[in-house]
């Protein structure tokens, strides 16, 4: 289920400026402005940015970040307003001191006695939220129940700061400090401290993000944040940004040759070349105002797309090379949102709104009578075939929260697959048939039957044969992030959309 997207707030010159400034940063510090040794350090620190990997390597010394003053190496950007910082960080080597430190920091100034807050992981695994409320004041601490966190997030909302941490693969655990006034304009970034004046330590920072979230005044489906297309390496859980736009980009499908993606934006479909990192409009003929329910056939030759021109969404098929779209859903029905092809190409499954109920339907890919496969009250959505054609996975709200379900291809034996305290949407089966990917929303942010833009979400995978789920990406996104199958053909990567009000400079574009 989707609402068609229009964006009236950006123009081509904005995109050109975005690209120019991004390219100018390639040889610099990526998303950061500068780097500094804060306080008195015996050995000068340094930071190196690998633009291809989008990885930072920090080297620094410093006695400590504690008590009434600090000494460490800091890579920073000046920021105002609310933001979310996130990274996967790890020390290089065994190290010397148990309390060497790496993490994320927000400071009022670059003075050693500045007010600050930091989400920090120590050499011995201690993970904590540390903060100094006043200039030259004593540093205070809230220790996390998690030790050895590999994923660190620090969010500012007004004068409230929330640390979210996890071991890679796990869900976040939070600690919070409220009423901490660091001023509106602050220094934000990543840091390293050796905890020994005579020692230099090293660390790597991957998946470094500075997110500017949606303001409370944003009008959904009328106003939009910028978008990043990211490619996630499942082996390392590191992702790289390959394209950014101030517009709303949604739902990347990975084409069978592994060389291109298809996504939608502002009612059009685009083919995105992964070698040149350039998008081109895909011709869909009479199908205008396309939304983010578009899916490739298993052989990669056809697309099922969903389009509404001032009325309910209609299902079409069209060549994946572009051409004249053919309508397949019937007139006089409610909205139809295309989600999955059968492996033999004979059927398409979709979410259909009929008589104010949303259920999973099957229809011949050439058009014809539709068949209702689910009948439970409430929303059933996101149906998708397994590569062997035996099962259809979908998400359903019938058990209270949104969860992943499975049924046989004829609609029988409907079985709940996930059963946790989150809202889980859009199961996608890997091409090798071994894994299920899905997106998870927090129940305190999102109602079970909704999947809005601009929320804290997780991408998770689980074995198709059963077993625990693991988080593979922590991000700010939601609607349009993975509405459609986004696996690479070799099942080793996932394409997805993350969101933020874009900053200048932004991530460099790879060429």
Q: pLDDT, tens digit, for every residue of 345-390?
A: 999 999 999 999 999 999 999 999 999 999 999 999 999 999 999 9
For the question of whether the overall pTM of this predicted structure is more than 0.85, the answer is yes
DSSP per-residue string spanning 226-260: EEEEEEEETTTTEEEEEEEESS--EEEEEPTTSSE
Cβ proximity of 318 and 307 under 8 Å: no
Cα–Cα distance measured from residue 163 to residue 175, given in angstroms and rounded to the nearest whole number = 5
DSSP per-residue string spanning 141-174: EEE-S--S-SEEEEEEETTEEEEEEE-TTSPPEE
Cα–Cα distance measured from residue 439 to residue 426, given in angstroms and rounded to the nearest whole number = 6
Reading the block at residue 324, the tokens are 């004249």
Residues 6+ away with beta carbon under 8 Å from 253: 261, 262, 263, 294, 295, 296, 484, 485, 486, 495
CATH classification number, 226-500, choose in 1.10.3720.10, 2.120.10.30, 3.40.50.1100, 3.40.50.300: 2.120.10.30
Q: What is the architecture, at CATH level 2, of domain 34-211?
A: Sandwich (2.60)
DSSP reduced 3-state for 34: strand
Rg value, the chain, Cα: 24
- Rounded to 5 degrees, φ, ψ at 19 are -65, -40
Query: What is the per-residue pLDDT across 443-460, written as a single tens digit (0 to 9) for each?
Result: 999 999 999 999 999 999
Cβ proximity of 92 and 102 under 8 Å: no
DSSP reduced 3-state for 20: helix
DSSP per-residue string spanning 169-205: TSPPEEEEE-S----SSEEEEEEEE-SSTT--EEEEE
Reading the block at residue 401, the tokens are 């929260």
Intervals of the chain under pLDDT 70: 1-27, 504-511
Q: Residue 389 — left, alpha, or beta (φ > 0 → left; ψ -120 to 50 → alpha)?
A: left
User: Number of helices (H) and strands (E), helices first, in the chain?
Assistant: 1, 39
With vertex at residue 204, the alpha carbon angle to CA 144 and CA 138, rounded to the nearest 5 degrees, is 40
Cα–Cα distance measured from residue 418 to residue 437, given in angstroms and rounded to the nearest whole number = 12
Reading the block at residue 463, the tokens are 């074995």
Name the residue ranges covered by the structural domains of the chain.
34-211, 226-500
Cα–Cα distance measured from residue 17 to residue 15, given in angstroms and rounded to the nearest whole number = 5
**What's the burial of 421, exposed, middle or buried (CB within 10 Å: 0-12/13-18/19+)?**
exposed
pLDDT score of 505: 59
Cα–Cα distance measured from residue 212 to residue 227, given in angstroms and rounded to the nearest whole number = 11
pLDDT score of 19: 42
Residue-wise burial string across 211-231, b where 16 or more C-beta atoms lie within 10 A, e elsewhere:
bbbbeeeeeeeeebbbbbbbb
Cβ proximity of 17 and 246 under 8 Å: no
């Amino acid at each position: 289920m989707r609402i068609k997207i229009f964006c009236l707030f950006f123009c081509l010159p904005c995109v050109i400026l975005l690209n120019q400034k991004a390219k100018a940063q390639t040889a610099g510090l990526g998303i950061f402005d500068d780097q500094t040794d804060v306080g008195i350090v015996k050995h000068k620190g340094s930071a190196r940015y690998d633009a291809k990997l989008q990885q930072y390597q920090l080297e620094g010394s410093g006695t400590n970040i504690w008590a009434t003053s600090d000494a460490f190496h800091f890579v920073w950007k000046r920021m105002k307003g609310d933001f979310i910082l996130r990274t996967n960080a790890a020390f290089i080597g065994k190290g010397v001191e148990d309390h060497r430190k790496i993490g994320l920091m927000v400071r009022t100034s670059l003075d050693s006695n500045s007010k600050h807050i930091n989400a920090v992981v120590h050499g011995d695994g201690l993970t904590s939220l540390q903060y100094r409320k006043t200039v030259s004041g004593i540093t205070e601490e809230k220790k996390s129940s998690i030790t050895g966190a590999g994923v660190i997030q620090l969010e500012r909302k007004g004068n409230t700061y929330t640390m979210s941490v996890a071991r890679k693969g796990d869900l976040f655990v939070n600690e919070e400090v409220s009423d901490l006034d660091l001023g509106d304009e602050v220094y934000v970034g990543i840091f390293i401290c050796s905890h020994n004046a005579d020692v230099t330590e090293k660390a790597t920072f991957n998946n470094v993000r500075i997110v500017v979230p949606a303001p409370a005044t944003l009008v959904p489906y009328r106003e939009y944040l910028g978008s990043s297309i990211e490619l996630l390496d499942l082996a390392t859980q590191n992702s790289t940004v390959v394209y950014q736009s101030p517009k709303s980009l949604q739902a990347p499908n990975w084409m069978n040759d592994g060389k291109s993606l298809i996504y939608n934006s502002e009612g059009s479909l685009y083919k995105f070349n992964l070698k040149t990192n350039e998008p081109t409009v895909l011709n869909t003929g009479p199908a205008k105002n396309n939304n983010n329910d578009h899916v490739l056939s298993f052989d990669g030759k056809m697309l099922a797309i969903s389009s509404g021109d001032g009325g309910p969404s209609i299902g079409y098929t069209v060549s994946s090379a572009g051409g004249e779209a053919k309508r397949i859903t019937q007139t006089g029905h409610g909205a139809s949102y295309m989600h999955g092809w059968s492996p033999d190409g004979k059927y398409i499954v979709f979410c259909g709104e009929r008589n104010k109920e949303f259920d999973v339907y099957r229809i011949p890919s050439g058009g014809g009578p539709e068949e209702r496969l689910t009948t439970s009250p409430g929303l059933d959505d996101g149906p998708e075939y397994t590569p062997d054609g035996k099962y259809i996975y979908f998400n359903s709200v019938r058990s209270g929260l949104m969860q992943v379900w499975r049924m046989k291809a004829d609609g029988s034996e409907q079985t709940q697959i996930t059963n946790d305290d989150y809202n889980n949407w859009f199961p996608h089966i890997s091409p090798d048939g071994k894994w299920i990917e899905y997106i998870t929303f927090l129940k305190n942010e999102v109602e079970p039957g909704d999947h809005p833009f601009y929320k804290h979400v997780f991408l998770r995978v689980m074995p198709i044969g059963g077993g625990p789920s693991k988080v593979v990406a922590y991000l700010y996104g939601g609607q349009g992030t993975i509405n459609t199958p986004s696996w690479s053909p070799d099942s080793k990567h996932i394409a997805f959309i993350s969101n933020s009000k874009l900053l200048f400079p932004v991530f460099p574009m790879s060429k």
